[in-house]
Amino acid sequence: MTEPFTIAIDGPAAAGKGTISRAVAAHFNCAHLDTGLLYRAVGAKMLLGQDPADAARGLTAADTQGAGLRSPEVAQAASRVAVLPEVRAALLDFQRSFARRAGGAVLDGRDIGTVICPQAEVKLFVTASAEVRAQRRYAELVAGGSEVSPAQVLADVRERDARDRDRAAAPLKPAPDAVTIDTSDMTIDQAVTRAIGAVERARTG
Ligand code: DC
């Protein structure tokens, strides 16, 4: 791809968006932006006492790096700052220009197909049952050395789902023209194949 070509991948926490997005970006050799990291970086700054809107306005690339951003505490903080319209507005231009860069871009998040890039050439909504998502997140957290219980992770996933879906500003929902991929009963390879197929169809029109 040499022209701008936007692939929007939305969905709830731990549905497989990240894995699918990285695989799609590698397959089509285009750039990838995990937009959740922007909100996590703002959430981490809020936990350190900063005003979230100021943090969002002053965000740098370096702020979006670091293993600490993957913790459950930061995930909850990200979901809390994500309800603030000032935070979302401060992150909008960066995401839109990333989406239209030459060579194509994959963006994954919650509102890419609905608010950030309603004109995206491809929109996918990747989902899975809350139980399956919590199991996957639990395995990831335990592998990373966190001490959590399965029940706690499920409660966290449900709480974040409710906040992301019910907020007034850019709530989590599929765009009307999004292709939904439910990964509950799929392997990673099956989900990636499905996503690549949807992009191929859009490219060949
Ligand atoms: O994708 P993630 O789990 O890293 O996202 C963390 C939180 O950030 C998520 O609970 C809601 C928020 N978020 C958002 O509101 N909009 C996005 N485009 C991406 C993430």
Structural domain range at position 48: 6-192
Give the ligand 1 atom nearest the CA of 83: 15
- Convert the pLDDT of each residue in 155-177 to its tens digit: 999 999 999 999 999 999 999 99
The response to whether residue 35 sits with its C-beta less than 6 Å from ligand 1 reads yes
- Please check whether residue 205 lies inside any domain of the structure: no
- Please check whether residue 200 lies inside any domain of the structure: no
Which residues, listed in sequence order, are joined to residue 138 by a DSSP beta bridge? none
pLDDT at 66 over 90: no
Residue 2's pLDDT band, with cuts at 50, 70 and 90, is: confident
Instruction: Give the Cα separation of 91 and 101 in Å (integer).
Output: 16
Residue owning the nearest CA to atom 13 of ligand 1: 36
- Please check whether residue 204 lies inside any domain of the structure: no
How many CA atoms within 13 Å lie on the side-chain side of 177? Answer: 12
- Convert the pLDDT of each residue in 90-102 to its tens digit: 999 999 999 999 9
- Please check whether residue 199 lies inside any domain of the structure: no
Give the ligand 1 atom nearest the CA of 111: 18
What is the CATH number for 153?
Answer: 3.40.50.300
- Please check whether residue 203 lies inside any domain of the structure: no
Q: What percent of the chain shows pLDDT beyond 70?
A: 100
Residue owning the nearest CA to atom 11 of ligand 1: 79
- The reported pLDDT for the residue numbered 72 is 87
pLDDT at 138 over 80: yes
- Convert the pLDDT of each residue in 99-117 to its tens digit: 999 999 999 999 999 999 9
- The reported pLDDT for the residue numbered 92 is 98
pLDDT at 37 over 90: yes
Residue 197's pLDDT band, with cuts at 50, 70 and 90, is: very high
Q: What is the mean pLDDT of residues 34-51?
A: 98
Number of domains, the chain: 1
Distance 81 CA to ligand 1 centre (A): 10
- Please check whether residue 127 lies inside any domain of the structure: yes
pLDDT at 45 over 70: yes
For ligand 1, mutation pick of 38, 164, 167 (most atoms within 8 Å of CB)? 164
pLDDT at 1 over 70: no
Nearest-CA neighbor of 141 among 158, 156, 126, 127? Answer: 156
- Please check whether residue 201 lies inside any domain of the structure: no
Taken in order 69, 70, 73, 75, the sign of the CA dihedral is positive
